[in-house]
Structures are given as structure tokens and as C-alpha cells.
Structure 1
Amino acid sequence: MVDKIELIKKLLNSDFEKNLFEASLWNLQDRKNKLRFNNFAYSIRELSRHFLYSLSPDENILKCSWYKNETDKKNGVTRAQRIKYAIQSGLDDKFVNDNLIDLEEIKEIRIEIAESIDVLNKYTHINPNSFDIEETEIEYLSNNVIKALYNFASTILQTKKQILDALDNEINEEFIQRVVYENIDEISLLSTHQSVHAIVPEQFNLKKIDSNSIYIDVEGYVEVTLQWGSNSDLKNDIGAEMHTSFPFCALIKIKIEDDIENADIEFEKFDVDVSDWYE
């Protein structure tokens, strides 16, 4: 159980979740309290609820193209929908199935996660059979609870990573080059004419996926030729040209569609650093 406890601490997202987990474990140490296991189980169940809600806020789920109200409440969100968002965010089922991961696999994973939550719920009920439990039984049951929490958290995060890795292959260097090529304005201020020879994204990573967009951080450099004067001026030696490069950084926002290549693309940020030019 100790190994899983340490792994769970690494999976939790916030200081609140980590503190709640520590407090939950302390319940098991209170040997004078006949409800110590029940308090432990209840606290862990609440931790799992906070963890899932932190990954899948209601306001994000309601904006997803795949969302539909399956409850008797206005803008209701089911547990299954919350798990779905925690795994695939706003990515459409068809896009996920066609490009990233088989939907049947995701359905099986969602069932596994739901079963882990059911295990946590099971041990929170107080009845004659779960009151003032013997020490050996507490050890056995607490191991089951910790295992369920670990399976719950790790399955969500591992599947999310699997989707992100698959999406990373879709958004390749060629795609980044094409997108960035159309958005270089800073260089136009440096000379009469400019021509871009190469866009080199040295690193790019998926920053996040929300209800309707994918965000990508990109860093790299652009290779350009700067020209002063016309082509005729160059021939008459009264113009000049220079080959150089400039670093750039960008935050690209891609609207989620069935096809990445044809998706709407916006730049949340695009900066070419030409500061060295003026030094």
C-alpha cells in the first residue's frame, strides 16, 4: 500500500487534494475511534470526487459538441460525462475514433473508472457489518480503497496521455510550418522586401485541450532574406540584401473539428524576436 500512496500523491493536482489525502490517511491512525475506517473511506471518496471535478468542470462540459442533457436537471452533468471529459475533453467522438483511439477502448476505460468509484462508495456506508471493524479487516479494506483510488486516478491520466500523444502525431512539424508561415508581420518592418525561406519549429507541445479548442506552444526560428531597394537597385549596386534568422514563439489555438488540417486556426500569441537587429 505504501507504494500506491506515494504514486497517488504524484497524481493529485492541487495542494488541497494532497492535504485531503494526508488527512484521510490520518483517520486510520485514530485507533480509539470506532468509525476510523468509515471516516477514511468517506474522505477518500470525497477526494476522488474533487479530483474528477477538477479535471471536468461543469461549465466546460456544457460547451462540448458531444454534450447532451441526460438528467432531469437543467444543464445536468452525469458521472459518465464527467469521466468522458476528463479523458478526451471536448474532442468529438468521431475525431477521437478516426484519428486517436478506438471509442470502444475508451468505453471500457470509462467502465473501469466507474467501477473504481463504486468501490469507494461501497465502503462509506455505515451498518453493523462496517462499524468498529477489526484491525486485520481494516488493513484489508483500506488496501482495497487505496487501490481503487489509484486505479481511478491513474487510468484517467494515462488514457489522457495516450490521447495527447496520438494528437501530437497529428499536429506535426509540417503542419506547424504551414500555420506559422502566414503570420510573420514583425519582419516586414525591417526592410523594403522580405522573403521567408524556412520556418523551423524547434519544439512544440500541447498546452491544453478545452471544450472546443486545442492550444499549442511553439518555439523556433525563421530564416529570411531582407532586401533594401528594388531588384533593379540590386543590379545597379544601390540596393542590398541579407540572409538572417530570427527566433519566434507562438501560442496556436485550433478549433476542434473532425479534421485537424481543415480546422479554424487562431494565434493567441505570435512574436518574432527582432530585438538583436536593433542592437
Structure 2
Amino acid sequence: MPSQELIDGVRSRLPDDFSRRQLDGALAVLTQENNPARANQSASSFRELIAHVLETVAPDADVMRCTWFKQDKNVEGPTRRQRALYACRGGLTDEFLKDRVGIKPETLHAGLGPAFQELNKRTHVRPDTEFKTEEEIEEFAETALAALEDLFETIDEMKGRVATALSRALSGAATAAFINQTIAELDEISGRYETGIVLIDDPEILSLDADRILCRFTGTVGVTLMAGGRHDAVEFRNSFPFDCETSAPATTPEAFDAADTTVEVDVSSWRE
């Protein structure tokens, strides 16, 4: 059996209960040593699991709506590789990946290829590819789970690189929000205030689909709080942590929507 750590890691990323049941079934049948067809049955379960995961995270209509999608003449709808690519990049354009993220789209395609080719070979058991030994069965199960783990890790890596590439634009979106919006938390502690430098600490991609990219990030904002009258005003300078969510079109991911930007500021240190 694959390591429990690998099993738990994959299970935690599966999208629904059906996926988890398929995983349990694929692994359980491997323990039936008196079942001569256990490898075939496990392979079938893994194949269905992977197909379901990809169809869930990359629905046909969403993948086919992306500007980078090209219909394979031998397949109806997206290929399995195209679904995996969509899960990693959503509707981000080739130009954005190359110019801002520093990834050549063809490199991303190539990186996913070998894992899925091996998985395809292993999950279509035929007389000439039948597992003959316990070692081969163990290797198959490890390979199938590792391919899914690789997909999930690639998704995480891509989102992290995109978030880093967008940091400057995110900082601009937060600055614009502080300038153009009344921040309720700051308004509560001071009737008049001015915001200064905005620093981004931890950008994160919450979701990325064919149409939009949703980002969340934390940071700190410098604030000048004003008390007293206009002629005898007293100023207090401080900085506060904030939490911000915003979104942009996937095809222009640096054009964040001011109307869809929300900011929450933690002023508990001031109250204390």
C-alpha cells in the first residue's frame, strides 16, 4: 500500500465524498490477496477517480471558454491534459504567463505530460500490461496517487507564482481602496484620518477560473489619525494590519475591480 502520508495528502485535496469513496475502493481492493483481478479493479477505480476529479475542477464549458483552448480533433470536449492545465492556470493568457509569471506555457504542458502518460498506461490494464507481482501492484498504486498529488502541487505552485507576480498590482488595488473607500474600522476610532504606505505581506489566489481571478492578501497600512478641531488638531501616526479581497478578469488579471474590493482593518491595538 502507498504511504499513509501520501494517501492522507491526496484525500485532503479531493473535491467531494464521491472522490473519497472511489479512493477508498481503489485502495481496499488491493488488499484482497485472494482476488486475482484486484489490480485490474483497482486500476479501473483509479481511472474513474482521476476522470471525476478533473471533470469537477475543470468543467467542459469553463475549459472551452478559455482563450488558450484549442479543440483536439480526436476528442469531444477538453482532453485530460487540458483539464489539468485549466486547473493550474484557469483563463490566464499565454502572454501573462510568459511576461509576468515567467512561465512558458509549453513548459507547463510538458511538465504534466509524462505523469499522465504513465498514469494512462498503468490504469488501462491489458494482458501485456498486467501486474504480475506484488511489487508491480504496489508501484502502480504509488504512481496513481503520486500523479494526483503532482497535479495538486502544480496547482498550488502556479497560484503561488501568480500571486507573487500580482503583488504590485494588489498593492495598488489596496491603496486605491484606502483612498476611495470609507474604512469602517478607521472611521470608528477617528472621524478624520489619512492613509499612507500600504505594504503587502501574504498574497493568495482564492480562486482562478475561466473568467475571473479572486485574490486575498494581508498587509499593513500606515495611518494618521486626527483629533481635535481643524485649528488645534492633534495627529497620531500608527500602522494597522488589514485583510483585503479583490478580483479581476482572468484575461487582464492586473486590472482589479474597485467595486469588488473589500478591506477590513484590525484596530484592536489602538483600542487596547
**Residue equivalent to 1:98:** 99
Unaligned runs of 5+ in 2: none
- Amino acid in structure 2 at the alignment position of 1:22: D
- What pairs up with 1:106-145 in 2 under 5 angstroms? 106-123=108-125, 125=126, 137-145=132-140
Q: Tell me the residue number matched to 1:2.
A: 2
* Partner in structure 1 of residue 37 of structure 2: 35
Whole-Å Cα distance in 1 between the matches of residues 36 and 203 of structure 2? 54
Q: Check whether the contact 1:196–1:222 (CA below 8 A) recurs between aligned residues.
A: yes
- Asked if 1:161 is matched to 2:153, the reply is no
Does structure 2 retain, via aligned residues, the 8 Å contact 1:21–1:44?
A: yes
Which structure: larger Rg?
1
1:213 aligns with 2:205: no
**C-alpha distance in 1 between matches for 2:10 and 2:220:** 35
Q: 2:193 aligned with 1:194, yes or no?
A: yes
The residue type paired with residue 38 of structure 1 is N
For 1:7-42, what per-residue CA distance to the aligned partner results, in whole angstroms no more than 9, with x for missing partners?
143123235434322322222333443432221221
Distance 1:102-1:226 versus aligned 2 partners, 3 A rule: same
Who is 2:80 aligned against? 79
Where 1:215 maps in the other structure, the secondary structure is strand
Q: Deviations along 1:92-122, whole A, 9 cap, x unmatched? A: 1222233332223222123213303321342
State the Cα distance separating 1:139 from its structure 2 match: 1.5
Deviates more, 1:38-47 or 1:25-34: 25-34
* Offset at residue 72 of structure 1 (A): 8.5
Aligned-pair RMSD on alpha carbons? Answer: 3.3
* Distance in 1 separating the partners of 2:164 and 2:268: 33
SS in 2 for 1:183: helix
Cα shift at 1:204: 2.9
CA–CA distance in 2 between the matches of 1:111 and 1:2? 23
Give the TM-score of the pair, scaled to structure 2: 0.78
CA distance in 2, matches of 1:189, 1:63: 45
Report the Cα distance in structure 2 between the residues aligned to 1:29 and 1:244, rounded to whole angstroms: 62
Counterpart position of 1:272: 265
- What residue number does 2:145 align with? 150
Q: Secondary structure at the match of 2:177?
A: coil
What is the count of residue pairs matched by the alignment?
262
Question: Aligned partners of 1:170, 1:111: CA distance in 2, in Å?
Answer: 25
